[in-house]
Amino acid sequence: MANRNRRANAPDVDNTIDLVQVDGLVVAKIIKHCHEEGSSAVDVAQGVLLGLVADTRLEVTNCFPFPKNLDENFDEEDYQMEMMRHLRKVNVDHLHVGWYQSTQQGAFLSTQFLESQFTYQTSIEESVVLIYDPLKTKRGFLHLKAYRLTPQAVALYKDNDFGADAIKTHHLSFESLYQEIRLVIHNSHLVNALLCELSEMVPSYEGSQYLDLGTASVLEKHLRSLTDNVDELLQDTNKFNIYQRQVVKQQQEKQKYVQKRNLENTARQARGEAPLPDEDITKVFKPIPVPPRLEPMVLSAQIAAHCQQVSLFCSQALGKLFLSEALQQPQSSQQTVLKAMEAGMERKPEKKSGVESSILSAIADGDEELVRAYSGISLDPAARARQLDERIVNSVCSKAHMNIDRIARLTSQAHQIGICFLLDTTGSMHSYINGVKEQIVEIVTRLEASGCGIEGLSFVGYKDWSDGVNHFEILPFTKSVSEFKSFVATICAKGGGDFPEDVLGGLSRAISLNWPQNSGTKIIFHLGDAPPHGKTIFHDGRHRDDYENGHPRDPPLEELFRDMRLKKLMYYFGRINGECDRMIAAFEKYYGEKIETLDSAEVGNILRSVTESVMRWLASV
């Protein structure tokens, strides 16, 4: 596609772009597409950027996504050309200026990524790639970056030689492999007016979840990706060391061979015989191929990017900790507010930059009226008199006390737990059903020892449609552990016709339970070894499926996970084998975030998996 849009620029001229200006509507389209198709760990959302170039500024004014789930006869290039023809007919910018892609935890750099961007930059010299991270955006930080290959990297790709000597000749390192371009978001005046109206409609508590102090899970994912890349780099380094040892060994063998030939020629001359004919030594010793150094360089760049992300994340976490420390000082709320106000009042009124309003807004939980009133306080330049409205101070203090009480109440409520065990009760799950029955007492004991209270235990067992219409065994929520054990003891693991089971029906029954009202943590712990009905969606079709297009009574996934979000239910899956991996990937698209899968292949791991799922959730509260 990029080759068809080759511009008339001279190939050796570096037309650098120092600014990427993206329309707000384009950002909204990218976010929508990436959250719909690229929010899981296995899916990547990609699309085309359209716009125009003004001097060294690239303006991105439109975009459209690459289609997904393509058939064999689909031509991606024809699709893009057809889309741009339609856009041209309605007088919309249709010039191809780059592409965009989703990523997870900043892990976007690969040889395929560099090759794609090289194709774009050699065909459309001003093209850029926009990288969007849905997970980081969900944590309150819009993560949208623009990148281009450096001229040294483009020259290296043109030579198509990735050996150590070529990289040294081009003065290329992992730090100069690609460069980030400054990105700004541009909105029209009408869009800005609309955003101002929408901001007034946002509840005052919206966004408070971004002050979450639980950072263990996010930091763990970053460090895990970092260690994986370090391990891969170590393997490549070992390969290069082996190559160097082979080269040294071959050089020694060459020297021995030449010395031996010289000795033989000397002996032949002494006997009056003709010397041995000259022989091409390269035919005797074939050159050892040099391992390409591009992959280690890409891994080094990815490691540097991960380190930068960890550093940024830790600095943000430290900022939150210092903020929480300030709230724990033994001084009264009124003194805190007065100090914050007085610190802001020392600045000259004409140089206010919004910092004072931000401080008050954080304390007052977004009370815009108080912020406007504080901003209107005047200073007397002659007397340097501070005029503080006591009503504002009292109102802010009242707000702060209310927020502290609300946070304490929610934190206490979060430790009241309701757990529903959702299990496949067909014949292959006999040992796991007994495992839940035998380990439930220890599960409750460990959770209570960690400061949690059990508000309710429930059990939902499901089989398949071949076992009758009513193939569910349900225990409503109860606080009695003995009642739970007695019910599970009556479960008989049998039935199941074809490979899939009625997973969606069981999940629907679990969501529809009467969950405890006092429970702040509501968890569905799912154990199963087979996916739902539906070929290509939930399994690869290797096994028999009597309902390849899904059962007619299967509830839609969108409705299931919408109800799950409305009830604030957390979903964890105990992974027994790999047969349900495609099911989890399909669930994640509607769940809205990555689903935690816990290793439950061994029956003895059920205890650890359940307690770990609860502790992970509480760590993020």
Contact criterion met (CB below 8 Å) for 247 and 215 = no
- pLDDT single digits (tens) 150-199: 888 888 888 887 777 788 887 888 888 888 889 999 888 888 888 888 87
Rounded Cα distance between 209 and 585, Å, is 25
Rounded Cα distance between 134 and 35, Å, is 6
pLDDT score, position 398: 54
- What band does 350 get if pLDDT is binned at 50, 70 and 90? very low
Contacts of 32 (CB under 8 A, 6+ apart): none
pLDDT score, position 334: 47
- pLDDT single digits (tens) 405-429: 544 454 455 678 888 999 988 887 8
CATH of domain 19-203: 3.40.140.10
pLDDT score, position 477: 92
Residue 272 Ramachandran class (φ > 0 left, ψ -120 to 50 alpha, else beta): left
Domain ranges for the chain, please list them.
19-203, 412-620
In the chain, % of residues over pLDDT 70: 75
CATH superfamily of 412-620: von Willebrand factor, type A domain (3.40.50.410)
Rounded Cα distance between 423 and 143, Å, is 38
Secondary structure of residue 583 in the 3-state scheme: helix
pLDDT score, position 283: 73
pLDDT at 507 over 90: yes
pLDDT score, position 122: 86
Residue type, 206: E
- pLDDT single digits (tens) 571-609: 888 888 888 888 998 898 888 888 888 777 676 666 777
pLDDT at 45 over 60: yes
- What band does 395 get if pLDDT is binned at 50, 70 and 90? low
- pLDDT single digits (tens) 99-137: 898 887 777 888 888 888 888 888 888 889 999 988 777
Q: Which residue has the higher pLDDT, 523 or 381?
A: 523
- What band does 69 get if pLDDT is binned at 50, 70 and 90? low
Contacts of 26 (CB under 8 A, 6+ apart): 49, 60, 61, 62, 63
**Averaged pLDDT for residues 11-18:** 58
- What band does 9 get if pLDDT is binned at 50, 70 and 90? very low
pLDDT score, position 512: 93
pLDDT at 390 over 60: no
| Buried b or exposed e, range 147-162, using 16+ CB within 10 angstroms | bbbbbbbbbbbeeeeb
pLDDT score, position 380: 45
The edge-to-edge listing of strands for the beta sheet with 128-132 is 178-181, 144-149, 128-132, 95-102, 46-54, 57-65, 19-23, 183-186
The CB density around residue 393, as the number of other CB atoms within 10 Å, is: 18
Task: List the single range of 89-93, 169-173, 262-266, 366-370 with lowest mean pLDDT.
Answer: 366-370
Instruction: Tell me whether residue 232 is exposed, middle or buried, using C-beta atoms within 10 angstroms of its C-beta: 0 to 12, 13 to 18, 19 or more.
Output: middle
**Averaged pLDDT for residues 494-517:** 89
pLDDT at 78 over 60: yes
Rounded Cα distance between 265 and 261, Å, is 6
The edge-to-edge listing of strands for the beta sheet with 569-575 is 472-478, 453-462, 416-424, 521-528, 569-575, 597-599
Half-sphere exposure of residue 538: CA atoms within 13 angstroms, side-chain side:
25
pLDDT score, position 37: 79
Rounded Cα distance between 308 and 300, Å, is 12
pLDDT score, position 73: 67
Structure tokens given for 519:
């429970």
Q: Output the CA torsion 37→40→44→47 (10° steps).
A: 30
- pLDDT single digits (tens) 219-276: 777 788 888 888 888 888 888 888 888 888 888 888 888 888 888 888 888 888 888 7
